[in-house]
Homo-oligomer: A and B are copies of this chain.
Amino acid sequence: MIYPISKQTLQRLPLYLSYLKTLGFEYGSENISATTIANALRLNQVQVRKDLASISSSGKPKIGYNIQTLIVEIESFLGYDNINEAVIVGAGRLGTALLTFQGFKEYGLDILAAFDSNPEKLGMTACSKPILPVEELKEMCLKFNIRIGIITTPAKCAQQVCDLLVESGIQAIWNFAPVHLIVPPNILVQNENMATSLAVLSNHLTERIKSGEEKNGTRSDIREK
């Protein structure tokens, strides 16, 4: 049975995919079991089985899944095999890094250009992708029917940029600014929130100190005195 897909499942699929891709010929088999994947990624095996069952029916009892088939099935489900075009707004360090990063193609993402309001930023990057004036954003999005907008501006202009992207017909927003964006119902906002990650890291370290796991330079081998 094909289960409806939950957001949690959706977020684990890229994990399975990247694991499957690391398996070279030295793995020694064309097939792999859900249990093997679960052990490698430290997940529950039933969870992996359910996740895989939700996107594939190529699993065979006693045999498992054919690795290549499974890779294709996951990539296809995730839409990595048809390219989505995107634009970036905010050509700061992060924006430029994303613009020039070659690796997104394999996830089906093609960033066409960045936009910035600072005239000094305009021009071509080394990888021949343009940084254009923000005034040209809407025209380009409509003309090329671009569906993904990436926001890498400072927090204070993020909402304004977001509104402009929505107006330009964008359907999904990848937001790197540490703010909550207000959008119409059928537009997806995916937050890549560094502040959130840092909160988790920082809290973990604080907890360690509180619980006495570490004391100010004390070596761990003598901490139990």
Residues of A within 8 A of B (CB): 5, 7, 10-11, 13-15, 17-19, 22, 40-42, 77-80, 84, 93-94, 96-97, 100-101, 104, 107-109, 145, 147-148, 155, 171-172, 174, 178-180, 182, 186, 188, 190, 192-206, 208, 213-214, 217
Residue in B78, B79, B97 whose CB lies within 8 Å of A94: B97
- Beyond the given pairs A14-B178, A172-B201, A190-B201, 5 more chain A to chain B contacts, judged by CB atoms under 8 angstroms and listed by A's residue number, are A5-B203, A15-B193, A93-B97, A171-B204, A171-B214
A97-B93, A178-B14, A208-B171 given as contacts; is B202 within 8 A of A80 (CB)? Answer: yes
A186-B213, A208-B171 given as contacts; is B7 within 8 A of A107 (CB)? Answer: no
| Minimum C-beta distance from A201 to chain B (A) | 5
Contact A194–B195 (Cβ < 8 Å): no
Residue in B107, B155, B206, B217 whose CB lies within 8 Å of A195: B107
What number of copies of this chain does the assembly contain?
A: 2
Tell me the dominant secondary structure on chain A's binding face.
Answer: helix
Contact A14–B205 (Cβ < 8 Å): no
